[in-house]
Amino acid sequence: MKDLTKNRQQFRGRFFVGIVLIIIVLIWTIPTLGVFITSFRDSRDIYRSGWWTILPHREWVKTSEFEIPAETDPNLPVTIEGHTATFEEWRNGIETEENRVLIWYGNKRSRKIEVLEEKWIGFGANITLRNYKDVLAAGEISFTDAQGNTITRQGNNFADAALNSLAVSIPATVIPILIAAFAAYAFAWMEFPGRRPLFIMVVALLVVPLQIALIPVLRDFTRWNLNGTFLAMWLAHTGFGLPLAVYLLYNYISSLSKDIFESAYLDGATPFITFVRLVLPLSVPALASFAIFQFLWVWNDYLVALVFLGDKNRVVTSALAAMVGEKGQDWHLLTSGAFMSMILPLIVFFALQRFFVRGLTSGSVKG
């Protein structure tokens, strides 16, 4: 009886945890799904209906239009197809016995009547790739807003911004990994004077706010004519990312078996050969974990790019910030740009996720 009660309690606990996890996943996933779907919708449809309307549903669709006689006075009640109503009522729409809706389109001078009929709309209606084309374009783009007006804008050249982000993110991820791997190996398995104080200093740098170092580093870069260059970004991200990289890799490398290094030394391997042929292959989980952290941080960074790079070589985050300021009302462009900025980080994370947990938990338990 006690075992049955215990099993029921465990089942209820697992069931409750499962429900909570599903709710959390939905809370995180639904907005992302909305951004993804909106990025493929026509600019006019975004203002008319929600993104969930791409699912099959019934909707009033324009099937035809006609004009009423020019002598019709819109200031008086107007009779159309046997229905008499004021101009304001026609503007709101009049439903007929044939299950149609007649709407006076435009102002009183237009005299155009649109005929709407309720029809089933299939899945993915009015899906387009033009939003992505307009965001990636560098020249002028044009689209129609919800009122039917043709809007002309300057393209954001998001393609160049993505290439600039890659030019910043890849070296700014590889360089600190290489330097930190050498340093972590030295701190873990090599004896040299001041090893412990130096490691404490490196760990202490983890608590130093990034914002404190921006102005001094910027002054040095300006003096050396590095400001506004990719080299400045590589050096800045390398310096800001090294403390975490050294600490993370040290925890992993120090947990490797001592017998491996003793065998290598007995075979005559130098510290460099040991590092290249043993430490690096065995440290792939930790290296991949830090690569995820560093790449996501550099790719999503806005402050460092704004300070050291500016608009000379605009990156993805700067391009998105400019879109918010210049095209804040153009949701179809903003959602397309936002989702394009998410694609590459997601690819990197899912490609390296199998190493992620192993790299984070390595060295946490010894014995």
Query: What is the pLDDT at residue 65?
Result: 86
Q: What is the C-alpha separation between 54 and 156, in angstroms, rounded?
A: 27
Instruction: Answer whether residue 318 shows pLDDT above 70.
Output: yes
- Ranges of each domain in the chain: 1-38, 57-121, 158-361
| Top-confidence range, 47-61, 234-248, 304-318 | 234-248
> pLDDT at position 179, please?
93
Quick: pLDDT tens for 91-125. Answer: 888 888 777 888 888 777 777 888 888 877 766 56
| Non-local CB neighbours of 21 within 8 Å, separated by 6+ positions | none
Average pLDDT score, the chain: 82
Closest CA to 174 of 271, 242, 276: 242
Q: What percent of the chain has pLDDT over 90?
A: 17
* pLDDT tens digit sequence for 159-168: 888 899 999 9
HEC profile of the chain? CHHHHHHHHHHHHHHHHHHHHHHHHHHHHHHHHHHHHHCCECHHHHHHCCHHHHCCEEEEEEEEEEECCCCCCCCCCEEECCEEECHHHHHHCEECCCCEEEEEECCCCCCEEEEEEEEEECCCCCECCHHHHHHHCCCEEEEECCCCCEEEEECCCHHHHHHHHHHHHHHHHHHHHHHHHHHHHHHHHCCCCCHHHHHHHHHHHHHCCHHHHHHHHHHHHHHCCCCCCHHHHHHHHHHHHHHHHHHHHHHHHCCCCHHHHHHHHHCCCCHHHHHHHHHHHHCHHHHHHHHHHHHHHHHHCCHHHHHHCCCCCCCHHHHHHHHHHHCCCCHHHHHHHHHHHHHHHHHHHHHHHHHHHHHHHCCCCCC
Please tell us whether the domain made up of 158-361 is placed in CATH 1.10.3720.10. Answer: yes
